[in-house]
A and B are shown apart, each in its own frame.
Chain A
Amino acid sequence: MPHIEILGASVRFGLVPILSNISLTLEPGEVAWLRGPNGAGKSTFLRLMAGLIRPFAGQALMFGETPGPSTRKRTGLVAHHPALYEELTLEENLTFFADLTATRHIRVDEALEAVGLAGARSRKARDSSEGMRRRADLARLLLTDHDLLLLDEAHSGLDRQAGGLVEALVERTIGRGGACVLVSHATEITFATRVVELNEGSLL
């Protein structure tokens, strides 16, 4: 069963069309690289795939179902901007997400260690660099297992060493039979299995 099945979906915000007649199927094991110019609708497309927005025309299915709480729980999303709470430390941010998913706190320590932030755990998110915040956001994905990863500019702010974290996360998900969609302005993503071009809300 495809992890994502979008058929003729169109999305608009108010009267402004964002996506027009989009169709996409994502099978387990696939890593789709979604690219296009600024304003093409990539982030909106990702949110459609995450089940956070509904199309006003067409259909969008996740894991064969209409998107809802049960399908979203199986999906890991890294948005354009890290969803960290500025006044909480990096550790407290991860602990907050761990508590909401009934994840043991030991995994918070492991996740911080894995992304190289063990020494900065007590730093507030607002006092952390963009790269550190992005690492912490990626660490959040290590707290639980996902069948689908949606990564919006996950490489943004990361140095070359940390960029390997994204690939490791993707490999971990694919290894479990999952799928992944990455939005990236990188010139090359070697581990992508297909490229999806988006321009002005339409697939090329």
Chain B
Amino acid sequence: MTFRRQALVILRRDLRIEGRTGEALLITLPFGLAALFLIPLALPLDTALLSRIGPGMFWAVTLLFGMFITFRQSAGESPAQHEQLRMLGVDPAARYTGRVIASTLLLIVFELVLAPTTILLFAPEPLDGWLWIVPLGVLVAIGLALIGTLVSDMTASLRGRSTLAPLLVAPLSIPLLVPAAQGLESIRTNNGILVPAMFMVLVVLALAVIGVMTAQPLEETT
């Protein structure tokens, strides 16, 4: 049983369960949309200001609610189920990878629903190179999925897990969100997106390596 096949089996399981329960996405999505809707109401009526902060609000809501998607994904596996995977000899790194891919796909769907809502509510300035937002969004989704799944594994056996996990995800996401915001600004000012995008790629690669390499030791300690 290859690493790739094990990861695909785990991915299929997670997506099938999510497709039937909608727990991660259908519960989180309304809250994300509500947050986007309420923010403009809390600010002075200044369309120029809303236009400037719109992209930042998109990333902030993606982070805040995106982390819950990854946690709910991870919480879907009980200790007994996890132990059965260990008994079957499932590579912890393959299990990690399958869960990350599932969370990434859900986060991309989350972003795809949030994006038009953000445009509608905040009316950000039209961007010439708007297509560059797509790779930025994908990189944010992958990075959040990597961070969320890693933090979920790190805190699996801790009592204060539900409090500690979000507190860990937020600062770890900064190296992703800052260049994502800078990337949008670069598009707006026609300054080229290469530097922030490459930085994000490096961050995602580093997170992927850390996640895969720590999967086995983390499993042995829980």
Contact = CB atoms under 8 A, between A and B. Distances in A.
A binds B: yes
Interface of A: 47, 50, 52, 69-70, 72-73, 75-77, 79-83, 85, 87-88, 92, 96-97, 99-102
Interface stretch (B84-92, B99-107, B138-146, B197-205): B84-92
12 contacts: A52-B83, A69-B86, A76-B87, A79-B83, A82-B80, A83-B81, A87-B17, A88-B13, A88-B16, A92-B16, A99-B5, A102-B1
A191 B114 CA distance: 62
Nearest to B80: A83
A100 B83 contact: no
Contact of B84 (A70, A80, A97): A97
A47 B84 CA distance: 11
A52 B88 CA distance: 12
A112 B56 CA distance: 53
A16 to B, nearest CB: 14
Given A99-B9, A100-B9, A75 B87 contact: yes
Interface in B15-47: 16-17, 20-21
Nearest to B221: A54
A178 B80 CA distance: 24
B189 interface: no
Given A83-B81, A87-B21, A100-B6, A72 B13 contact: no
Contacts of B17: 85, 87-88
At the interface, is chain A mostly helix, strand, loop or mixed? mixed
Given A77-B83, A85-B81, A97-B84, A72 B89 contact: yes
Interface string B53-87: 00000000000000000000000001011011111
Contacts of B6: 100
B89 A70 contact: yes
Contact of B87 (A77, A82, A88, A99): A77
Contacts of B20: 87
Contacts of A70: 89
A62 B181 CA distance: 53
Contacts of B5: 99, 102
B88 A101 contact: yes
Nearest to A140: B84
Most A-side CB within 10 Å, residue of B1, B13, B80, B87? B87
Given A72-B89, A73-B89, A87-B20, A79 B80 contact: yes
Given A88-B16, A100-B9, A52 B85 contact: no
B90 A100 contact: yes
A75 to B, nearest CB: 6
A92 B88 CA distance: 17
A88 B14 CA distance: 10
Nearest to A54: B220
